[in-house]
A and B are shown apart, each in its own frame.
Chain A
């Protein structure tokens, strides 16, 4: 059944991103916006905007019933959830299923299956996908036995966590009992689920993820991998594809692992399988499945030429998956920098406010996904993402050069941003060398801090 009108249950750049593809496909868009976003660029670009509630997300973007009622009220046949907010809440997908509204994403059962991190881990094991040594632990005794077997450093993870939330590192076995108790209590408070599990902590790990598309009937293709190792407190800052320095054999194996897991789930729509690449052991381990479109999807679109939002819509309306694996031939290298309204000098504190002036780069191989124009307001209720600058070049060196040019051409006035910080990372020889692990950015920040202090005292 062809979708004619989509309710977009999101905001910011991803709302605009969805509107862009809908326009190209001739689909009407209704933006479900909070009061704080009524003057935003997406609100102006959507065919129609409905106000769903006050600015605070708990009173607008996170209200399942209101979102579905809005879709029914404006006669939208489908809901696109974007990322964050309700995108991975089984409740929205389930109410959509009950009300006959198409949810552009996986089934409620699939979201539930991968949302439970232990269940996702079990599914991965059943699909023959390597997982980090570890497993479920119900008691302190079990934890000690398993902890001794794996050997420290260890990571205690909350079953209801994910995306870096609900994790605790333990360096000495004798600290494990106390850490377990604390982790269970924290998990109960944060996720309403006290269950935790234990995994080996990988000291030199890279975050590599595989983009997949599934038709919901068992056929799955992958669109290659992304390296998102440049992160701070699990917040990704720079992403690129292909992952630098991995052999084609290694990449082939990691792609196949992602496809096998998604096939086993009969996964529907776009999704990402995240892995931790252990550089010391030349191995990779399953981390989690993100059952939604991701912030960093444009790097994949740049090298493959596939419009992932259009594929999501096609799958959702029952067109299946016209793409064959052999049709997907990634070309060149793509890099994305996330430009956030935050102040690196003040521990990356968010800096909401009004953007007095914004100039974004353009030119060959440059794409900017942003909802920020001069005069745009950045409300304090939401994440601080202002723009994604994406460059594409024939190889990594060309892409890096284009990114330097793109960042130099960018101007943001009125709010602090991490723009200058991106420039310094791009100028750093270690990043230029490629293939940094997740400890890179914290080390880089520490090095910079020491240098600045030395300069201040010198």
Chain B
């Protein structure tokens, strides 16, 4: 059994309605990588199965890395979190988010809120353009410097 175009369309719909940003699926030698918001589905054949040798042999301490996925296209500008705190996409629960993918933002457009012990801090885009990716989850902890969104700068 292999994936048909219909299957992929169905999976895309599922991802779109889920709270996940990326999906990787591997079956019968076919690898499907989906990323929300970028509308780019990459279909590629899986490389020959190979155990990641060096990493498995010597258990290394996990290098610290701020969570970041590579940008979906070149030239995007990161919006880094100015604070550690809880990230909210909307002014209040139940209200529409400040921005969605595709939204046009100015430098001082508020794109979210970071709560630090009940103190709400507005986060501004810092760059003019169009929101290309939204990485931070609503209601999740974001670290200082973590990329929360990416902007396609206006020319």
Contact = CB atoms under 8 A, between A and B. Distances in A.
Do chains A and B interact in one complex? yes
Interface of A: 33, 35, 38-39, 43-46, 49-54, 60, 65-66, 68-70, 73-74, 95
Interface string B99-137: 000000000000000011101000000000000000000
Contact of A39 (B64, B84, B116): B64
7 contacts: A43-B64, A46-B64, A51-B143, A51-B145, A51-B146, A65-B117, A70-B141
A14 B85 CA distance: 25
A50 B141 contact: yes
Nearest to A37: B64
B61 A66 contact: no
A320 B14 CA distance: 52
B99 to A, nearest CB: 23
B106 to A, nearest CB: 26
Contact of B144 (A44, A51, A95): A51
Contacts of B84: 50-53, 66, 69-70, 73
B63 A50 contact: no
Interface of B: 61-64, 66, 83-86, 115-117, 119, 141, 143-146
A69 B85 contact: yes
B116 A66 contact: yes
Contacts of A38: 64, 66
Contacts of A65: 116-117, 119
A49 B117 CA distance: 20
Contacts of A39: 63-64
Given A52-B144, A73-B141, 5 more contacts: A44-B61, A49-B64, A51-B144, A66-B83, A73-B85
Contacts of A52: 84, 143-144
Contacts of A33: 64
A65 B116 CA distance: 6
B104 to A, nearest CB: 30
B143 A44 contact: no
Contact of B61 (A45, A53, A68, A74): A45
B145 A68 contact: no
A95 B62 contact: no
Given A33-B64, A44-B62, A50-B84, A69 B146 contact: no
A406 B145 CA distance: 41
A289 to B, nearest CB: 29
A41 to B, nearest CB: 8
A74 B141 contact: yes
List the 3 closest pairs (A to B, CB-CB), nearest first: A73-B141, A44-B61, A65-B117
Nearest to B115: A69
Nearest to B86: A73
A375 to B, nearest CB: 13
A46 B143 CA distance: 16
Nearest to A32: B84
Nearest to A39: B64
Nearest to B114: A69
A69 B141 CA distance: 9
A51 B83 contact: no
Contacts of B61: 44-45
B117 A69 contact: yes
A49 B116 CA distance: 18
B144 A35 contact: yes
Contact of B66 (A51, A66, A95): A51
